[in-house]
């Protein structure tokens, strides 16, 4: 393990502990692009029929109780029935009536003329419910599911000559119970159904792309241009430990750098899988709150390190003023003030994480945390990078493509997003609202999809600087472009797969690790890249010294 001097003093524990914490924590939530809309996938049950060939579409259901509008409901249209308008101005506001019988599986006794009928799921097929509602004069059918998922309503093999001309939409159980409760108290309920179209290009994804690429670039350039540290870590071993460093106080503590080895890749897979299994079996509000507290601690440390480093870079004498505190001893005043601010920032975010602006605080804490981690965890060579990224690659593929075959897919989505845990969400990801999407929601990217490729990009920068390579003849620029292109492919696949979560490392690993191996092979430098960072003979080190 290599030791380097810190650019500022710190009040918190040695950041190396933070590295272990973060690497253990973020790896289990490295899935990218988890859709905000949970939909069960049962398309195999759908026979191909011209009368049952509609595309599944999300439906907005505006509803009024005694003339007062309530919160909109999100539903899912059926594979059959009439299509809905894409704008609310084109839709009709109609009264809602409960089916009698409630399952709409027999002739209805209530008057349904120009009304939207609500029926509970079960006891007969969806097409049977639709036929009965249409025969009774209903203008539409809302099917109340028996849980919170949006089940895909398809046809049966016998439904070869359907003639259903009314829209059929499924809504969650809680939404249906709420409407039924309003009707039970004598309230007049009116609904309006329409299906807004998503934009072809969501500009929020571009902002998230820039955030991810910018985080990696900033972390790679940080040691030399912000912290003003020596890039070539192979020569740090020749620097006497008691030699003062320019611009540093004697009281400055040293940050430990975690040099990752091949064994760490295997440990990563074991610990990450174990952690994700814990989330699967013990997902609860208190467990997610534990992760939120740990994220706040890590984010506070990361933000503190970044701010103190920047302030010390601007004002070199700021860190010389100290104060003596009980237990902690003599510490820098600027470090104390910044730490207090960072802790207050993290606490404010935790207390307001459901606010519309909370994503800003989460992203700031997350970016600072990742920049700090990328400074402390370093890859020594491409050999270790291949082991680590390959294990992460296999891990990501397994939990996105294989785990839904073992576990229920909706549960795995809830684990990844933390939605099924008392309303709290797991914070180990960057997110940004879909500002231009009428359905709202967030675009997200997990920490692991930034940190794993980021370690390799940061290594390429150190290698280029050590070997005095130009920007064009080096590796840093091309790996940065490769990462940006790989992330672009991820979001392209996310779009083509209709929002289904994508394993980002499936695209990022070939575009980064594969790229540096190919370039190294073409330039005849692959052997040096593969074994870079190993200790050279003592005689060679003495001559260079």
Q: Cite the active site residues.
A: 396, 449
Q: How far is CA 252 from the centre of its chain?
A: 35
d(C-alpha 79, C-alpha 53), whole Å: 6
Cβ–Cβ contacts within 10 Å for residue 39, how many?
A: 20
CA distances from 541 to 212, 230, 386, 537, 544 (A): 38, 17, 27, 7, 5
Is residue 77 helix, strand or coil? Answer: strand
Do residues 163 and 138 touch, judged by C-beta distance below 8 A?
no
- The answer to whether 57 touches 198, Cβ cutoff 8 Å, is no
Q: How far apart are CA 14 and CA 172, in angstroms?
A: 48
Separation in Å, CA 31 to CA 252, 264, 418, 446: 38, 20, 13, 6
Which residues 6+ apart lie within 8 Å of 418 measured at CB? 283, 288, 424, 425, 426
User: Which residue carries 């939990």 as its tokens?
Assistant: 399
How far apart, in Å, are the Cα atoms of 35 and each of 132, 310, 356, 522? 34, 37, 18, 40
Chain position carrying tokens 């593969």: 530
What are φ and ψ of residue 534, in 5° steps?
-70, 150
Handedness of CA 141, 146, 150, 156 (dihedral sign): negative
Enclosing H/E stretch for 133: helix 126-135
């Amino acid at each position: 393990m290599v030791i380097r001097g810190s650019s500022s003093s710190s009040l918190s524990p040695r950041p190396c502990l933070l590295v272990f914490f973060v690497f253990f924590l973020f790896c289990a939530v490295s899935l990218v692009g988890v859709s905000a809309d949970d939909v069960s996938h049962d398309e195999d049950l759908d026979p191909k029929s011209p009368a049952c060939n509609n595309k599944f579409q999300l439906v907005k259901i505006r509803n009024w109780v005694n003339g007062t509008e309530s919160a909109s409901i999100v539903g899912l249209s059926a594979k059959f029935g009439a299509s809905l308008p894409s704008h609310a101005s084109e839709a009709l506001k109609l009264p809602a009536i409960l089916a009698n019988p409630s399952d709409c599986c027999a002739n209805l006794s209530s008057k349904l003329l120009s009304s939207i009928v609500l029926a509970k799921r079960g006891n007969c097929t969806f097409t049977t419910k639709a036929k009965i509602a249409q025969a009774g004069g209903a203008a539409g059918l809302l099917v109340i599911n028996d849980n919170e998922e949006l089940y895909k309503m398809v046809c049966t093999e016998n439904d070869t000559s359907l003639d259903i001309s009314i829209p059929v939409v499924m809504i969650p159980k809680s939404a249906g119970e709420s409407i039924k409760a309003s009707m039970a108290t004598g309230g007049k309920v009116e609904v309006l159904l329409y299906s807004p179209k998503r934009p072809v290009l969501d500009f929020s994804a571009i902002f998230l792309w820039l955030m991810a690429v910018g985080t990696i670039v900033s972390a790679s350039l940080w040691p030399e241009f912000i912290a003003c540290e020596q890039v070539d870590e192979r020569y740090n071993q020749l620097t006497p430990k008691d030699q003062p460093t320019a611009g540093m106080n004697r009281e400055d503590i040293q940050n430990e750098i975690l040099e990752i080895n091949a064994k760490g890749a295997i440990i990563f897979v074991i610990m990450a899988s174990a952690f994700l299994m814990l989330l699967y079996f013990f997902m609860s509000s208190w467990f997610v709150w534990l992760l939120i507290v740990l994220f706040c601690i890590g984010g506070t440390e990361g933000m503190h390190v970044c701010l103190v480093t920047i302030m010390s870079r601007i004002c070199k004498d700021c860190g010389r003023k100290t104060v003596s505190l009980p237990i902690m001893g003599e510490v820098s005043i600027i470090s104390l003030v910044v730490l207090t601010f960072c802790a207050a920032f993290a606490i404010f975010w935790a207390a307001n994480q459901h606010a519309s602006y909370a994503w800003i605080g989460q992203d700031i804490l997350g970016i600072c945390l990742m920049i700090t981690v990328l400074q402390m965890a370093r890859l020594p060579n491409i050999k270790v990078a291949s082991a680590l990224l390959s294990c992460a690659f296999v891990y990501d593929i397994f939990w996105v493509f294989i785990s839904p075959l073992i576990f229920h897919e909706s549960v795995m989505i809830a684990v990844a997003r933390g939605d099924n845990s008392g309303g709290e969400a797991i914070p180990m990801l960057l997110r940004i609202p879909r500002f231009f999407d009428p359905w709202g929601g967030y675009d997200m990217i997990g920490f692991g999809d930034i940190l794993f490729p980021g370690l390799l990009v940061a290594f390429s920068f150190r290698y280029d600087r050590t070997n005095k390579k130009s920007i064009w003849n080096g590796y840093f620029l091309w790996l940065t472009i490769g990462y940006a292109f790989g992330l672009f492919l991820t979001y392209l696949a996310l779009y083509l797969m209709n929002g289904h979560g994508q394993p980002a490392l499936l695209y990022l690993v070939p575009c980064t690790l594969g790229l540096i191996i190919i370039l190294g092979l073409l330039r005849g430098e692959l052997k040096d890249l593969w074994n870079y960072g190993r200790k050279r003979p003592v005689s060679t080190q003495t001559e260079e010294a």
